[in-house]
């Protein structure tokens, strides 16, 4: 009955995290509780994103919904849901969101030991055309017990305890690492549970895809320009790479993680620090890539070694298959000489 037991032995994300927790006897289950609240937020956003299209179609949304309330933009709504879920978990003390200029310091009575940095709905400009979007998050342990200050979240990405994203696409997929590899869970709407569907994800050592917005070519620096040229006109007689660019980071990174290849958001003359944000885009995706056997590079250093100076800081990023990132690191190193 091996097959049967597989079907009935549902590995939900909650059970997976509980198994992880049992590896830390000293743990009081706080992390499990925190994660269950993040999962709740993802389930809510998944429903709202799927309804958004329909609501627009049948005119429910427009400017107001059936209750005549002002229809909130989905990213604003998602942000409110995550902030409320994280505060009510009683396990957080500082929250940094792409949607909020200032960090949220949780009121003392509800404070816990974790700091969560997140983009509640990255790529939301793609909603109207049905392209996959996602939530990206990273979790730090608060550095010291005192009054929570921002330096608890201005930590290098290598200090993260966990990171993940939830992609709202043809299915709702949550990819998570708690520091011992990467696992993918797919929402079963009939159960309302995330089920383990992609155990122990490992990114191919080398890929055949490069992912960059070629519209910025005229602004690239030499190493990036040289690398992209090599993808198109390989000197070693190998076949050119394919270009795949969705323009939604969660979708581009998810494809890179599963199929291999490299995702680039380089610096350019217009934006010398690139476009993507360090805390809640670059760090979580870099954390996942390293955990899956890939790597992530800023053009100057290992992405996870970066120490951010402000909570919305940006950085260039090159992440994906180990060998592909190694090639662009060599081009930047040659530039340094
Ligand atoms: P560009 C979406 O707006 C986003 O923040 C990321 O999800 C995506 O990778 C990037 O911007 C796309 O930027 O400049 O190529 O449109």
The stretch 21-30 carries a mean pLDDT of 78
Using CA atoms, how far apart are residues 1 and 25, in angstroms rounded to an integer?
A: 33
- As a whole number of angstroms, the distance between CA 217 and CA 219 comes to 5
pLDDT digits (tens, 9 = 90+) for 229-261: 999 999 988 999 999 999 999 999 999 999 999
Say whether the ipTM exceeds 0.95.
yes
Ligand 1 proximity of 319 Cβ (cutoff 6 Å): no
Ligand 1 site, residue 217, Cβ cutoff 6 A: no
Arithmetic mean of pLDDT, 91-116: 96
**Nearest CA-CA partner of 227 in 134, 323, 98:** 323
Q: How far apart are CA 238 and CA 7, in angstroms?
A: 43
Residue 124 Cβ inside 6 Å of ligand 1? The answer reads: no
> What six digits make up the tokens of 66?
């059936």
**For 29-42, what is each residue's pLDDT tens digit?**
899 999 999 999 99
Task: Tell me the per-residue pLDDT of 153-191, one tens digit each, with 9 for 90 and over.
Answer: 999 999 999 999 999 998 999 999 999 999 999 999 999
122 lines ligand 1 (CB under 6 A): yes
Which range has highest mean pLDDT (74-78, 127-131, 292-296)? 292-296
- What predicted TM-score, i.e. pTM, was given to this entire model? 0.93
Count of residues in the chain: 337
Return the pLDDT at 271: 86
C-alpha neighbours within 13 Å on the C-beta side of residue 269: 8
Q: Using CA positions, which residue lies closest to atom 9 of ligand 1?
A: 249
Name the nearest CA neighbour of 116 among 146, 144, 82.
82
Q: Is the per-residue pLDDT at 115 higher than 50?
A: yes
Encode burial over 75-105: b for 16+ CB neighbours within 10 A, e otherwise: bebbbebbbebbbebebbbbbbbbbeeebbb
Q: Does 1 score more than 80 pLDDT?
A: no
Report which ligand 1 atom has the smallest distance to the Cα of 252: 9
15: CB partners within 8 A, 6+ apart? none
Q: Whose CA is nearest to atom 2 of ligand 1?
A: 123
**Ligand 1 and 213: CB distance under 6 A:** yes
Per DSSP, 314 falls in state B
Q: Does residue 275's CB lie within 6 angstroms of at least one atom of ligand 1?
A: yes
84 token code pair: 């409320």
Sign of the C-alpha dihedral computed for residues 270, 275, 279 and 283 taken in this order? negative
Question: Is any ligand 1 atom within 6 A of the Cβ of residue 279?
Answer: no
Q: Which of 265, 277, 312, 314 to mutate to test the pocket of ligand 1 (most atoms within 8 A of CB)?
A: 265
């Amino acid at each position: 009955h091996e097959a049967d037991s597989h079907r009935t032995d549902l590995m939900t994300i909650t059970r997976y995290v509980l198994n992880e927790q049992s590896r830390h006897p000293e743990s009081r289950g706080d992390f499990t509780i925190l994660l269950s609240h993040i999962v709740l937020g993802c389930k809510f956003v998944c429903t709202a994103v799927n309804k958004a299209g329909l609501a627009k179609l049948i005119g429910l949304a427009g400017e107001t919904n059936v209750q005549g309330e002002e229809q909130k933009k989905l990213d604003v709504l998602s942000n409110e849901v995550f902030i409320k879920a994280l505060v009510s978990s009683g396990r957080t003390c500082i929250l940094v969101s792409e949607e909020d200029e200032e960090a949220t310091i949780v009121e003392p009575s509800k404070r816990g030991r974790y700091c969560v940095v997140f983009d509640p709905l990255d790529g939301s400009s793609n909603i109207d055309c049905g392209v996959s979007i996602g939530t990206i998050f990273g979790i730090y342990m608060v550095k010291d017990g005192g009054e929570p200050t921002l330096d608890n979240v201005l930590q290098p990405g290598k200090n993260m305890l966990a990171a993940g994203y939830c992609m709202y696409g043809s299915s709702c997929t949550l990819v998570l690492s708690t520091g011992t590899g990467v696992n993918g869970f797919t929402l079963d709407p009939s159960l309302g549970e995330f089920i383990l569907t992609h155990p122990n994800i490992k990114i191919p050592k080398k890929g055949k895809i490069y992912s960059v917005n070629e519209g910025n070519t005229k602004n690239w620096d030499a190493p990036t320009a040289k690398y992209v040229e090599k993808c198109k006109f390989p000197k070693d007689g190998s076949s050119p790479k394919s270009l795949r660019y969705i323009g939604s980071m969660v979708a581009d990174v998810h494809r890179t993680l599963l199929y291999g290849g490299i995702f680039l958001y380089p610096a350019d003359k217009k934006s010398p620090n690139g476009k993507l944000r360090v805390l809640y885009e670059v760090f979580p995706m870099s954390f996942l890539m390293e955990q899956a056997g890939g790597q992530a590079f800023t053009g100057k250093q290992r992405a996870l070694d970066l120490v951010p100076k402000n909570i919305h800081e940006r950085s260039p990023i090159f992440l994906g298959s180990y060998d592909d990132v190694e090639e662009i690191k060599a081009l930047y190193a040659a530039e340094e000489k």
